[in-house]
Chain A
Amino acid sequence: MITIENLVTGYGKIEILHSVNMEIKDNQMTVVIGPNGAGKSTIFRAIFGILKVWDGKISYNGENISNFKTQALLKKGISYVPQGRNIFPLMTIQENLEMGAYIRNDKEQVQKDIERIYKRFSILGERRNEEARNLSGGQQQMLEMGRALLLDPEFIMLDEPSLGLAPNIAEVIFNEIHKVKESGKTIMMVEQNAKRALELADYAYVLELGKNKYEGPAKEIMKNEKVKRLYLGG
């Protein structure tokens, strides 16, 4: 679905990715792990048109999408949930969720989907008419994930979906992501809760200092002694 060939990019004059190669297969969950600053989030930004591709090529279903505008990528069914709190603080929770479905035309189904989100994350339902800035840090993360699920994209990139979440809620999020994959979507995920992510994933890449380090089926990567010691905390 997504092919990354010899991707080079960075910020200002600093080159972060030095010729990275990846292949994200249809209906699979691919996870990218690695130390802080390895360039994991940078790959997402390059795919999503936020960062310019300096060299190399990104293709989506065979089409070269390098340096496409973000809006055009959204319309093609690509979506991205960045790290940290990217909610609209002065809008209500309901309005934040509606914004997530902004480009969808099936308004009735949207409301049904929003109700489903409220069922999964009951605290969001209870506080649906409050301003989002009044939510705690972790609740804002729930809102962001809920909003991402409403987009109903073909290909979704998730940057640390479990960040700041209580263990039981993190599990709800992982189950939701798994269901999204089972429904036929393709997922690419960066996650520091690497063991849990590898359990759910089909394929894994290990990135270090902007270069490919290891790759393979997630179950094998999880058992790789070197990966365990260097990246999974032993």
Chain B
Amino acid sequence: MILKGKNVTKKFGDLVAVDSLDFEVKEGEILSIIGPNGSGKTTLFNCITGIYKPNDGEIYFKEKNITKKPPYLICLSGISRTFQITHLCPELTCTENLLLSIQEHKGNLFSRLIHLDESEERKKAEEILSFLGIDRLKNDPAGSLSYGQQKLLELGTVLMPNPELVLLDEPAGGVNPTLIKRIMDRILQMNERGITFVIVEHNMDVVMNYSHRIIVLDHGKKIAEGLPKDIKENKEVIKAYFGG
């Protein structure tokens, strides 16, 4: 078990966004979390990555309690994530944004200053940009990219630091269908190399074709958990989420 949550609860005033949630993420799996808008998916990501402190419950990453840890320590321990709305440095170029995403993982300021040879990182950054099909934009400021291109660049920033667990918040949102396929195939390759993924996504082609397991949230509670084929036929999930 790479990640485990026990009784995780997060409230905003009277609203219980995540409600006594127990969950487990197995090492090496692709787990999708789906559910209606406002069911607590992003809030759960924010609890795992330390942006929110849960009101109750504990979260363990590789058996270690990370519940009260600050976001940078959680990130350094090997959890990396993306956001629904991208978090990039708009003034920096695409390559620089990718390089920045690993600077954080490299010791102190001094060791960074003497570590002048970053050619390997630069090579990796360019490889990632080329894979994502935005290498021709490598010297353009991130702020000049279209929304979809910014989503791709942000996906690149989580691929840079060699994380063990990656949380993706709507990786397919606003991305062209052909490119979604390429991105998901890349995620599959990385998964085969041992990286665990937790994905929040509304694109059901992605969720059903690429997840090993699915957890369904509604009003902050788990209403279903299982294999894609079982979730597809679950009456409660159809009613709360799929419609029809």
Contacts and interface: CB of A to CB of B under 8 A. Distances in A.
A167 B241 contact: yes
The interface size bin for chain B is 35 or more
Contacts of A195: 177
A164 B152 contact: no
Pick the most buried of A36, A136, A166: most chain B CB atoms within 10 A of its CB. Answer: A36
B176 A84 contact: no
B84 A233 contact: no
Contacts of B131: none
B32 to A, nearest CB: 13
Contacts of B34: 166
Contact of A11 (B134, B144, B175, B242): B144
Interface string B60-88: 00000000000000000000000011000
Pick the most buried of B42, B144, B177, B204: most chain A CB atoms within 10 A of its CB. Answer: B177
The interface size bin for chain A is 35 or more
A163 interface: yes
B36 interface: yes
A233 to B, nearest CB: 3
B94 to A, nearest CB: 12
Contacts of A14: 140, 144
A136 B38 contact: yes
Contacts of A41: 146-147
B145 interface: yes
B180 A139 contact: no
B35 interface: yes
Interface string B28-68: 00000011111100110000000000000000000000000
A49 interface: no
B23 to A, nearest CB: 19
B244 interface: yes
Pick the most buried of A137, A163, A170, A194: most chain B CB atoms within 10 A of its CB. Answer: A137
Contacts of A192: 148, 174-177
A161 to B, nearest CB: 11
B178 A37 contact: no
B126 interface: no
Contacts of B204: 167
A165 B170 CA distance: 10
B114 interface: no
Interface of A: 11-12, 14, 33-37, 40-42, 83-85, 123, 134-139, 141-142, 160, 163-171, 192, 194-195, 229-234
- Which 9 interchain pairs have the tightest Cβ spacing? A138-B37, A168-B243, A36-B148, A233-B177, A136-B38, A37-B146, A137-B84, A37-B149, A35-B176
